[in-house]
Structure 1
Amino acid sequence: METKSPNSLQESPTPSGTERTSEDGIQLLKVVKEGNIELLQQLLEGGAEVNFQDEWGWSALHNAVQGCREDMVNLLLHYGADPCLKKKNGATPFIIAGIVGNVELLKLFLSKGADVNECDDNGFTAFMEAAVHGKEEALKFLCENGAEVNLSRKTKENQKRLRKGGATALMDAAENGHADILKILLDEMGADVKAHDNMGRNALIYAFRKSDNRNVEDITRLLLHHGADVNVRGEKGKTPLILAVERGHLGLVQMLLEQEHIEIDDTDSEGKTALLLAVELKLKDIAQLLCNKGASTDCGDLVMIARRNYDTCLVKFLLSHGAREGGLSPVEDWKPQSSRWGEALEHLRRIYRPMIGNLKIFIDEEYKITDTSEGGIYLGFYEGQEVAVKRFSEGSMRGQQEVSCLQSSRANSDLVTFYGSESYKDCLYVCLALCEQTLEEHFAMCKGEAVENEEDVFARNVLSSVFKAVDKLHLLCGYTHQDLHPQNILIDSKNAICLADFDESLKWAGEPQEIKRDLQALGWLVLYVVRKGELPFETLKTKSNEEVIQLSPDEETRDLICCLFNPGDNVQGHLNGLLGHPFFWSWENRYRTLRDVGNESDIKKGVVQSKLVQLLRPEESECPRSFAKWTSKHEVENWRTFPVFAREISRSGHVCL
């Protein structure tokens, strides 16, 4: 009987193609890391997959670049390695060449089709990586070959929503303590010292991010010399001055206090000033320096803290500079009126903030209501009243328009209440009544809650308030709004409606077209409100008047929109007349109107020439149904087929609603 060899093919299973490729690939990566070029060549000649990648996306080429093995890189490329192959994080061999600072490899990959500004999934380019790792020659080479010096880091959408990304090479160099790189970027390459990342941080904040940054003083000096914003905020609202105090770095504090526009009493998000922190951290020299430079001692119980630290010298010093025993007056028991913004308002009221006239405000994300085209809207307290504060640059035409229009319309209860304004440090702060939500937000929250065949009291009330607001704006204030849309219609804590945002308003000079623009926007708003926001306002603006009218769900709405789109000659007083339109009649009033019309003498006697009788006769009326069918209050929803009839009754004076 024939026996089989232990090494025969029948006894040793042959590896599959996939297993063989994986084994060869792993071996390929291993020999590159070991730097064995002879074995690498053997594997490649034996057919090993040159573009094999491990679980993190590292290929032999990536490893060869990381090891600065130009000979291996050329060999791998000769055998078909992809010069643009990406790791799991999107890094290409070109970007890795920027990390290691190998100019020859950067040059090689550019010749193989690399884009000098290509980035990985976190937005890092080769230029940024050279700045991170202090690779001066690579940085210069990349700049000479078209790298964007001020390119900001681009991130994925989910990261961007968290305000990640936006950093530049200058920030990278500052964070990693590369003063020489920073100097080249600023002096030779024109790096923008005023650039901010997506969280609003500049290079000065980045210089303080690592506690082991030994060059922080040199870097800070360089950045300040080139005009960096000294009052910028970092994590937890901390300014460079506060960060310098936290480091206990007297020289840095001194350097920052010498800056002309330093805000010495600025607070972090916990309401702590640089002086309060210095006292808490037992930094007597820094505390004394801050006081001598004019820091306010009304920022907490400084004396009590110094006593607790058994620092009698500092206690005497603080008392001599106006600090009070017991510190700030205790905040009285207080509850916010706003439910939506209550928590943030309580925090803002509790923390210390230097006053801007009658206004207490903190420009921080925690207190931001929304962004605007200029400076955002923030929570605040004006004369103790919780307010929404609209921020403009000092010379802003929009800001001036807003204040001018609001001042002329203080008596208009349908417009947002204006409390006052303050100016400080090139900014204008316009203080308005704080509301809970916009009309757009309301409909977004109430999707799917509409009930068919029920009276839409909300729509009628909203539009009635808006019509009155715009009517008074035109007639009493002499302004046109010019920016009517759902985000500018506000709902307060008591569900009252008011009109806001007048920074595009115009003083009316008799030009009908300006009022017609407001009427046109009101036409879109009518349909938007009646349809519960299901048709986006921006979509409605793209449609023709005829399309908007056809989208109306009933005759009253259709007729009201027609009246807005075709106002006739008397545009200024047009809205006042429309406030009596049947659209605004309650179902109860509609029923009573029908009942009263039924008692008209012309109808009882059947006077054929009577306009009312003609309207009610089905063979002559434009309306598809007869008045004879209106027999009970339960059929009142059928009134939607009688807008012309209803308006005729209203105009003829037969019925008073």
Structure 2
Amino acid sequence: METRSPKDPQEGLTPSTCKRATVEDNHLLIKAVQNGDTELVQRLLERGAEVNFQGGEGGWTPLHNAVQSSREDIVGLLLHHGADPCRQKKNGATPFLVAGIVGNVRLLELFLSKGSHVDECDFHGFTAFMEAAVYGKVEALKFLHEKGAEVNLGRKTKEDQKRLGKGGATALMDAAEHGHMDALKMLLEEMGADVNARDNMGRSALIHALLSSHDENVEAITRLLLDHGADVNVRGKRGKTPLILAVEKKHLGLVQMLLEQEHIDINDTDSEGNTALLTAVQLRQEKIARLLCSKGAHTDCGNLVTIARRHYDISLAEFLLLNGAREDFQPPAEDWNPQNSRWGTVLTRLHRMYRPMIGKLKIMIDEEYKIADTSEGGIYLGFYEGREAAVKRFCEGSEHAQREVSCLQNSRENCNLVTFYGTENHKDCLYVCLALCERTLAEHLARDSRGTVENTEDEFARHVLLSIFKAVAELHLVGYAHQDLHPQNILIDSKNAVRLADFDKSIKCDGRPQEIKRDLEALGRLVLYVVKKGDIPFETLEVQSKEELTELYPDEEIQHLIRHLFYPGEKWQTQLHKMLGHPFFWSWETRYRILQDLGNESDIKVRDIKSKILQILKPEPSEPSRSFDQWTTKIDPYVMKKMNKFYKRNCNFYQDIVGDLLKFIRNLGAHINEGQNNDMKSKIRDPAQYFQKTFPDLMIYVYTKLQDTEYTKHFPQTHDLPRLKYDGPDC
């Protein structure tokens, strides 16, 4: 019988404890792969860790994680130990599809040799070719095309999703929607992509481009698609044509470009009967309206003159009259279609129903038409001056009603609040009429949240929180504190704009700090709620202490933001205004530009160690370690070596100080797009993403060091609040 020494680590272990050790090793294996620790991966595999273990909610295997990090050495090691090259995540994605996302051609080729099919797809119908188009991975697209990928394959989806119009999109649509010009050119000019292919909603690549939020190159993309024969009269969702979408973008250049097309139908309507001209007048786009009229747009398409006068666009109203529009326009009799998708069926029923008007308001007080409960009278669907409305019902003389109306009336210029239409009184009740939105923030997150993805730019959180911060900051500016900042009081409208609502607890604060500080603290909790995508209930966040919440999110940037909201100090009156200029609200591209500008400071370029800026940027001995410590070892070795060659003559190579990192970022940005540096560009790809992912705490470090110095000239400037640019739809 075998005996064990007293020091044998296996002695006394029961089968259950051995099993727990194995499960721990499986999780350690995932972590080791994510950290790129090859030696630990090797040890864990040799002692029995499950090579195909699928951890977490997404079902990622070690191999999926290795491919995501483009660690070809670890991929080879895992395959050697029996990793399944065709194993699917819970969404059906194989390592081959992940390789398409990251654009690693060598891994794509490897998995094809291991049994992957070039057109295999996940459960949402995405192929590796489509993923490469979504992320603009041109070399991956080229390789997959050479291997036989079907260029015009439409996204396959389940039948119930297809009935809802989901799926059907091609790689060309993906490239157009995400603004990848190089990928688009290759698909059209080298691969024969069908420029007029439609998805299951009938949208072509041109429609996808015009619906996209990537406006920086939408003109170039539209021109490219038109030059390759895109149908200029194609219809998208709700029957919108490219011309109407261009007007909705308020983009005069796009409208001009489309009107130059030979077969454009300038008077085509969407499914609601709106023409491009009617849309332009509704959106107060006088230049576009005049251009459309000069090109022959009919002026009998709606009550154009009345709309222009309602907006006080008197010159436009006179111009429309000269071009045949009528003051007494009567719309043709036709079925009415609601604008609000969520409440459309009920709105249609109310619209067709006869109801005695309460002033300008049409409403039916019935549970069928109630959309929310309140402490007093509920919120109902209605029509105010013919516009779909959410109507809050109060007892006449209610203190809550007085607060709501007072705050809304004094904040009409605040574009980030729910639009206030007006009020009506009837039978001891006050009706407060507001623009109708689709859902609350909590409902939006529950329905559309895809979870927090590590190392990706969270544009949704930035958009939502910037809108809320602006809304509250402007409230404070006119002397009001909201006092009820909760996810259910933040609304998302039909255009995905964020609107602050529910002011029946608002207070005319008159400069008193306690109300302002209460709003700031609630904003801090909302920051955590939004960045966590609603995974932590707001009620839970409300009962946790500020100290606990500050440590809840490991990201130093978010900690810095909420700490200044929780502890505004003596600057409580200006704290929120200052926070609008916080790096959290800067895009990765903006951060990259700022770091470049700082790296262009003369004292940094010559490494004047005694200079003011380098002294400020120098870390204190007591400061914690950061991602950019020993930064030269964390840059791609080939890129680091090539960049150092510029200083070979005087041996003045880059050093591990913050100033040299900024200089490196500046120099790389100045030269990476030069032809002789294509090799570096293939490794760095997008410099803004590369430096954000490699040094995630660099921007907040630089910001905190320089925020009260002359070097803030390089930061985006926060102007007077009433003139702040609003990134969503116009008021």
TM-score with structure 2 setting the length? 0.44
TM-score with structure 1 setting the length? 0.49
Rg (Cα) greater in structure: 1
